[in-house]
Structure 1
């Protein structure tokens, strides 16, 4: 049997387009150095760099500070605690970390920035002052920690992730960095990622906004704020981490849990988080393409990591300048170059090994009133309900032991689909959260809410 094998090597024109985009970014962004990588499938397919100053590399092995990408690593630790049954995302913080003064905020709200906490700490610019100036959580939260009522809206909060780091330490009984290394970095092979820089690493620079001159930025230990932005990493490590965020790794988190992290958990915030925010992951739409990942910045460094599940492509961009280079846009552009120039090969179609006769019976066209829908049985044994045409509600359903089907996505996520049978055992209709789907539009033989006009269907005259 012939098998189509996807070649991971990129075409010369694609590689040149990627290199050109990084060169333009470094030049126009006035960055001392930029290093980037694109991954597809299970590995890196392209690496590139541009530099104008003396120093190591840059290449995929040189460390840069990644700022708030650290939050995604912290979220992974929290989701591990959830999957182990040590906490529930709906738990109030007070249950596991008492005495903070903001204990009514839930774990989920902290993960997706809906806890209403302030964006920054009180006092001096925390990213540019020693961590020793914040020895207690009270120094991070201040006397007035809330800006909004918990659960009302998205409001990005660095102190919120400081609380999550402290939560990890409380439940594990070990420092955040130690837990991260043992439970995430080592299992995933991220040996060039850590809380302190290890050679070779880039130096952080501030570039003057109106003159082509620079000065070095201080490299502060963030102390209690480490879980929000402490980490250093490389493009190669982050590309590997991006693959984990797409596919999961049973040694750390399952594919189902990382998929949960990628789903929107907070409402969109116009101009800030247009696509909402997941559980430790920023969400965005770039050129019609849905992305998940995170950006980061600390004095001297900017960073971005984006993944596109639909394209199975990830891009990472790191630079050693405080501002000026739009890393989020550059990373999204690199991802799009590969996805559009060399779209992924679809998985080969394969028939089911064994078809469930009950599921087969439900396949085919159904109608909600006059809205045409179709039910399909997919290769993984799930049911897919989708509209016939451009508009309507689509969802996937998983079989339950009692013969019902549980919604996994879309409007019907968590809802129950049941096949209602007649006395002879044949299917009369589908019931989905009080929506009735029948084999004919407004089937007179089914219990259609509102009844059917006795005159039936008719023309105008």
Structure 2
């Protein structure tokens, strides 16, 4: 049985013909692969090989992205001499939803919709017009998980020609906004929303023009294009296989239609980690990564943002998505703290623990080669003396905080004691700052000045921060006891 690790195999990325066709574009240069140590590459390959063998997958591919580049790829196949390469398409299932979510957030950035808008405001004929766009993105609208029969993943989309055909008699079995309840038809509505607000252009054509082409993802397509893998079902009690059909799911396409390659998904992972202003604003990408629904009662080990899954694993937070369609499994996880992503593709309906394998790939790199911080650099000029004068200690009552100046006139407020709230702030054109995270997310920070123009205090959502702890001369709400501090 053949094992291939692209990081160590001679000629990896060469354009030699094989059973999966010719590689037209190398995944990356050999120099990139040498950035991981041989011990790390072997551990990655071993994890992939164990996953393929124990899961009895006809083939399995994996990759690691770090620092915005692909640093390792590996492949394992059950057929001697038929090892897939990085340009072979696999069906990626619900990873499709991450692309649809980015399209919706682009519409949000352009001011064509608000996340709190009911979908019925923009889309006619839906059976759940009051479901908000944010709820659809986060699977919190209470909609049914699947369409009315028959099984949509294994039947042609022509059986569901209209939106009303996607839902049964109970389109909303749960109350809206209360909890996460995964809904494939909900994403069909989002795809229709994109089409409606883009003047009737099919959502995939919008995706290709606005996202795939700018990111160089030319091998992510609606229908499979050679070379591509065949999807299989593996018998649970015997080592035999059955080919799975690959249906065009029609209106359900936004829930799981796309085909892609390891090479393209590495580019997608780099985008999810580092962003690309040509495609989506950094603020909207950060909002997608933020949990949008309450955690389940058994604790916060998994959640969902706006089109992205979130999991906690061994002290690390991973963001991405899993996917499955008949004959295929996929997973892509990003670890922002390590600037790393793990991707795994397999061509079988069930068996291998693909999400866990992809998570383990990121964990192996974090364990063997922890991220080395970027070198410290001074802020780019020119320096604003008035802004620099704001930096330093501030007091919320008697609780000391420090205000630090960051890039692009940003600020960061953090407590100096063990208790308190910290947040980062984005500079606005009107001279205020908006909280980006933590307790003060979305709140306004402004500098209040005296009549002579000198700084009096900071106002943060009506909380007053002064230069001294309860100084009588400071504008402390409620005043300060005239006898002052005492023993």
With normalisation by structure 1, the TM-score equals 0.92
| Contact 2:33/2:72, CA 8 A, preserved across alignment | no
1:457 CA displacement: 4.0
| Contact 1:273/1:283, CA 8 A, preserved across alignment | no
Deviates more, 1:196-205 or 1:269-278: 269-278
What pairs up with 1:411-426 in 2 under 5 angstroms? 411-423=439-451, 425-426=453-454
Residue number in structure 2 paired with 1:141: 167
The partner residue of 1:357 within 367, 372, 385 is 385
Residue number in structure 2 paired with 1:127: 153
Q: Are 2:137 and 1:111 aligned?
A: yes
Residue number in structure 2 paired with 1:3: none
| Contact 2:309/2:320, CA 8 A, preserved across alignment | yes
Deviates more, 1:352-361 or 1:281-290: 352-361
SS at match of 2:431: coil
What pairs up with 1:146-161 in 2 under 5 angstroms? 146-161=172-187
Q: Are 2:293 and 1:291 aligned?
A: no
Alpha-carbon distance in structure 2 between the residues aligned to 1:195 and 1:272? 37
Q: Are 2:466 and 1:429 aligned?
A: no
Q: Are 2:98 and 1:72 aligned?
A: yes
Q: Are 2:397 and 1:375 aligned?
A: no
| Cα 1:8/1:406, change in 2 over 3 Å | farther
Residue number in structure 1 paired with 2:434: 406
SS at match of 1:340: helix
1:225 CA displacement: 0.6
SS at match of 1:445: coil
Q: Are 2:217 and 1:187 aligned?
A: no
Alpha-carbon distance in structure 2 between the residues aligned to 1:291 and 1:212? 34
1:20 CA displacement: 0.9
Residue number in structure 2 paired with 1:393: 421
Could you list the per-position Cα deviations for residues 176-201 of structure 1 after superposition, in whole angstroms to 9, with x for gaps in the alignment? 22222222222221122111112221
| Contact 2:414/2:422, CA 8 A, preserved across alignment | yes
| Contact 2:125/2:164, CA 8 A, preserved across alignment | no
Alpha-carbon distance in structure 1 between the residues aligned to 2:50 and 2:416? 44
| Contact 1:246/1:307, CA 8 A, preserved across alignment | yes
Alpha-carbon distance in structure 2 between the residues aligned to 1:437 and 1:251? 38
Alpha-carbon distance in structure 2 between the residues aligned to 1:260 and 1:8? 35
Could you list the per-position Cα deviations for residues 377-434 of structure 1 after superposition, in whole angstroms to 9, with x for gaps in the alignment? 1133211001224443211122334433222222112211123334554433322112
With normalisation by structure 2, the TM-score equals 0.87
SS at match of 1:94: helix
| Contact 2:89/2:228, CA 8 A, preserved across alignment | yes
| Contact 1:67/1:296, CA 8 A, preserved across alignment | yes
What pairs up with 1:306-385 in 2 under 5 angstroms? 306-352=333-379, 353-385=381-413
| Cα 1:328/1:186, change in 2 over 3 Å | same
Q: Are 2:41 and 1:15 aligned?
A: yes
The partner residue of 2:118 within 92, 102, 105 is 92
| Cα 1:430/1:84, change in 2 over 3 Å | closer
What pairs up with 1:250-289 in 2 under 5 angstroms? 250-270=277-297, 274-289=301-316
Deviates more, 1:71-80 or 1:158-167: 71-80
The partner residue of 1:200 within 227, 243, 258 is 227
SS at match of 1:374: strand
Deviates more, 1:53-62 or 1:429-438: 53-62
SS at match of 1:119: coil
| Contact 2:309/2:319, CA 8 A, preserved across alignment | yes
| Contact 1:31/1:324, CA 8 A, preserved across alignment | yes
1:454 CA displacement: 5.0
| Contact 1:247/1:258, CA 8 A, preserved across alignment | no
Alpha-carbon distance in structure 1 between the residues aligned to 2:219 and 2:345? 14
The partner residue of 2:237 within 210, 215, 226 is 210
SS at match of 2:407: coil
Alpha-carbon distance in structure 2 between the residues aligned to 1:255 and 1:227? 23
Extract structure 1 runs of 4+ deviating beyond 6 A.
none
SS at match of 2:248: coil
SS at match of 1:276: strand
| Contact 1:56/1:201, CA 8 A, preserved across alignment | no
Deviates more, 1:267-276 or 1:147-156: 267-276
Q: What stretches of structure 1 of length at least 5 have no aligned partner?
A: 1-5
| Cα 1:161/1:22, change in 2 over 3 Å | same
Residue number in structure 1 paired with 2:7: none
| Contact 1:39/1:239, CA 8 A, preserved across alignment | yes
1:8 CA displacement: 6.5
